[in-house]
Structure 1
Amino acid sequence: MQARDTIDDLPNTSKEVLNEYSEYAYETASEMSDEPLIVPDYERAVEGLSLDAMEARNFAPAWREVCEWSRSTSNLDSIRILSEQDQLFTILKQRTERTLSFRHDRIRDFLLADASLNEINRTDGIPDCLSDPYYYSILGTGIAYFRPSETILSGLCDRNPLALLEALCRLGGDTPEYEKKIGAEFQEWLSKQGGSTGIPNSLLGETMDILRQTYSEQVSEIAELLPQFPPVLLARFRNGDLEAGIQYCTGNGGGSPNVNNPQRDSVFNDTLQQRGDQYTAVLSKVLSSVGAEHVQGALRLAGFFGRTELGRDSRTVGEHMELIQNACRHFFGRLSSVVFQNNDLLSIR
């Protein structure tokens, strides 16, 4: 890694890359500065600053606030040198004051997550500030990066349960065994609350929204414990439940093709990229045997499949559309009476 590199130049933001980048910043500061500071001095100073920033809930403090927070003169010297180096931090002039700013959100989240998990491991306790729902994303990042023990997972779930769902979202199905531990801890916590009816609506809403964006084998199990609102149906559909997609498209909610719904479109596009072949083949069979109560949803979902497939390779489009068209012909021949009894179906385009 060369001296001109910045966080924006990095090819990805895996834990290994971010760790290498921050270590490089510490090593460069140690080599270039006249101060008798070594890499561990910089690491300790950044960890202290990160914890202070979270305690104050201030990620862009004025320099005078940084001076007040500083736990030692060497810590303050370390932060000053790193700021002048402009890799992890930078100093911005804001009217009459100068503020310390993290160089990039990605490096900020990594440093905050690293400091949080280190503090938890060192003290065998969770700082009070980390119970703030504001930090669930930071903690989720830390869980995904550093894979803490089940004991720590349990403590974090009690204090900030959304952090575990954020970790599932970030892990993305790549670590099924660890994700199983996360899912078990969250389900146990939910049971202790008396189920979904025992948690605040704001927390329930955020839970459903995170699950809607998550690929993981754990999503289906957690979704069973929640009310089957549209975000939960989308979460299930994303994770392999075609029936949930049909249910979502039934009625006058977000599944109507006449309703502009970016969240739906995002899930459908992502899911059909991942499961398009599988879902289209299954749907062609479902259309020939679907019950009357799910006619509308099945046809609408088939329409979404066709619309999404237009962006794929032309040969694949033809294959998928032929499957759907053949199933629809069979379907309409068998259920024509149901179609004509349902006025809403007649208006489907």
Structure 2
Amino acid sequence: MDTNEVTIHHIAEILGINSSTVSRALNNSPRVTQKTKDKVLKKATELGYQRNHLASNLRKSKTFTLGVIVPRISRHFFASAIAGIEETAFKAGYNVIICQSLESLEREQSIINTLLANRVDGVLISISMETKNYDHLKGLKQRSIPFVFFDRHCNISGNSKVVIDDFDAAFKATEHLIKKKSTEIAHFSGPQNLEIYKNRFLGYKAALEKYSVPFREELVITSSLMEHDGAENVKKMLALPYKVDGLFCANDVVAIGAIQYLKSVHVKIPEDIAIVGFSNETTSSVIEPALTTINQSGLEIGNVATSLLLQKISNESKKNSNETIIVKTNLIERKSSLRKV
């Protein structure tokens, strides 16, 4: 017999018991004796019986599946977050569908539709750089599919999110440069429609203000924060009539691109320009000089965000709650900013 065709009816016929008893035994029902359970499980294993989890779950109106949308799986932070998500989901008996938007709003919208078609029980999302229209996310709310933002989020009513304090982290990064005697500090920022980059910019600006360091609008250069943007941004920065001696980057990737270009034009780091990045990518510790950065635990954020989503799924009263959980960060000091003062 083909193991794919083995049903509870076959097991029942062979054992001489009714199908409902077999079903209860396989579902560990207290209405069936342990002796019968053992007999049914043994026979099911012998026959290679495989439960149709999808059909079983649909009868319960649940698929025990979570959708996860990240901008790029290749980024260390998102890879770590996914590890945390899968760890927590697996312990709770959930499967995970992982998708990447590749920073495209259109792709993100398409993914949401696909996840809805697959009847996911909830969604974890870190939005793309292009996401300025939130109709697809409001569609989740209309379908009563709970979702939780992690890291990148947007302000729509009744949303829950797990984030870091981007303002405070950026303030500390900029303050570190000021304490290393930087007096003209540039900022390589990300798109300001994203709350995380807006808050990192505001933290940078607040630190300058606190220590009476001049804020110059021209020294804030916005890009999509890819490695090649690091070189392009540095060219723009060096063309300005200021002797920049400090640089705070909104992520490590653009900071690494900046370091590589500055070295190619013989600018010394940190002696001429001290640099701080953000997110502690794996390459940050191996580049020369090693990059000072803000460490944010993707693993912890993934764990916490999944726990919050599972609460929403299992508790109807929490489904539309508006909850924000802030995960702590810390500054890791490395050679790129350790100028003698």
TM-score in terms of structure 2 length: 0.29
The higher-RCO structure (CA 8 Å, 6+ apart) is 2
Higher helix share: 1
